[in-house]
Amino acid sequence: MEHPLRNKIIERVKRDIESGIYKEGDKLPSEFELAKQLEVSRSTIREALQFLEEEGFVVKRHGVGTFVHSKPLFSSGIEELYSVTDMIVKGNKTPGTIFLSSIEIEALEEDTLQFTGCSFNHLIAMERVRTANGEPVAYCVDRAPAPYLPNFSVHATKSIYEILEEEGRTISYAITHIEPVGFHEEISTILQCDPSTSLLLLKQMHYDDHDCPILYSLNYFRADKFKFHVVRKRKKSSQE
């Protein structure tokens, strides 16, 4: 069923966003005000805003209003393995690091099981906030066997991938588990998120060409800055 009037409002609001009349994070006029400005019913405005929210152009905050959704800093297939630094650079932003901690800790039995096939007694545990043009966008926790990062304190601001490569350890692939996270009292505050901004957690074990696990990461991304997608292909039937 066609909705020419609603579609006209949708295109008008999209055009206003793209032209900069409404900027990222701006609050839109109320449904009543928009209806009056555009000379349509509130129900038409409501339908148009619902569509725009489903398409990711706006976000509704209960009891507050409707806001222009921030464009993702980086959008790519999750099957592509990039460091956080690479993601930020590909988003045409300048990467930065707020160094929180880097310590050497004694490896527990569960650590040796996680890094199976590796011989080590201690782990390097690092916590950092990654920034894009000075804005916090990701909270990263990285753990690796100490022998793989002998100069970890010297390279604190570099990509972990780059540090490992300098030590002769090249990451070939990673097994990733993705979890949506709501507002996290500690991490969301560090990333300067408002309560409506969710986080996307990527749990990754990274491996080298010999299938040896060399880095375990917990990366919390601001969902309004990073967008990932997966290309899924249908398996052909044996009868085709």
pLDDT tens by residue, 58-110: 888 878 889 888 777 777 777 888 889 888 988 888 999 998 888 899 999 99
Could you state, in order of their start, the residue ranges of all structural domains in the chain? 4-68, 74-229
Amino acid identity of 184? Answer: H
Task: Kindly list the distances between the CA atom of residue 141 and the CA atoms of 25, 46, 127, in Å, as whole numbers in the listed order.
Answer: 28, 42, 5
Question: 42-56 in b/e burial notation, b at 16+ Cβ within 10 A?
Answer: eebbebbbebbeeee
Rg (Cα) of the chain, in Å, rounded? 22
pTM of structure = 0.75
CATH code 1.10.10.10 for 4-68? yes
CATH code 3.90.1300.10 for 74-229? no
pLDDT tens by residue, 20-54: 899 888 899 999 999 999 999 999 999 999 999 88
**Dihedral pair phi/psi, residue 146, rounded to 5°:** -55, -40
3-state SS assignment for residue 68: strand
pLDDT tens by residue, 201-221: 999 999 999 999 999 999 999
Q: Which of 58, 42, 39 lies closest to 50 in space, CA to CA?
A: 58
Domains 4-68 and 74-229 share a fold: no
